[in-house]
Chain A
Amino acid sequence: EAGVAQSPRYKIIEKRQSVAFWCNPISGHATLYWYQQILGQGPKLLIQFQNNGVVDDSQLPKDRFSAERLKGVDSTLKIQPAKLEDSAVYLCASSLGWVTNTEAFFGQGTRLTVV
């Protein structure tokens, strides 16, 4: 079974530039998550999708971050304009969703460096 795919693996941009990350979840997983992991910290949830609808985006900085999941499969996370403090690993995860006793599976992440 293929895992959660993310690209790119690494990205270096200058502040005020824009960047986009892509995620392809495990086939059949209805729920998709984006987490931000700043160096030395645990991951923090940014947004959760159920199919193509947003379940929770309360911790997404909406003035600069946006995410979409068209057709309920792949998802993109965009930052525009980027700030130095956005340097982090962005992890995508997926799960079956509205089923108890399940777990989330994580991709390898995209490491973003803003200079």
Chain B
Amino acid sequence: AQSVTQPDIHITVSEGASLELRCNYSYGATPYLFWYVQSPGQGLQLLLKYFSGDTLVQGIKGFEAEFKRSQSSFNLRKPSVHWSDAAEYFCAVESRPDAGNMLTFGGGTRLMVKP
């Protein structure tokens, strides 16, 4: 069965510092991968997605992620974090690409930004 692991439950970075959030997946075929962000009291907003092709994917708000098949990873990065980036971040894999966008999520990483 597919699964997603986000090893870091909490991460604190200083404003302006770089950020990397880790995501490892377990999936038998070529995965469809996603990163979502959730601000307090809000739903999930898609940051970026990987379906195929270029393994470095650009997203909204200055985020990017790199798909590494050999490491079963899809880490999220941002070169310079802003205070407004404080939120919870979820990595997800599409469980059945032949049947819609059924997603298996990781446990999330809560990002705190120090001024």
A interface with B by C-beta (< 8 Å):
4, 31, 33, 40-45, 48, 50, 55-56, 91, 93, 95, 97-98, 100-109
Contacts and interface: CB of A to CB of B under 8 A. Distances in A.
Given A43-B44, A43-B90, A103-B34, A56 B99 contact: yes
B101 A102 contact: yes
A42 B90 contact: yes
Contacts of B105: 42-44
Interface of B: 4, 6, 34, 36, 41-46, 49, 51, 90, 92, 95-97, 99-108
Given A41-B108, A100-B51, A108-B43, 9 more contacts: A33-B100, A42-B4, A42-B92, A48-B100, A55-B99, A91-B44, A93-B44, A98-B99, A101-B51
Contacts of A104: 101, 103
Contacts of A42: 4, 6, 90, 92, 105-108
A114 to B, nearest CB: 19
Residue among A95, A101, A104, A108 with max Cβ neighbours from chain B (10 Å): A104
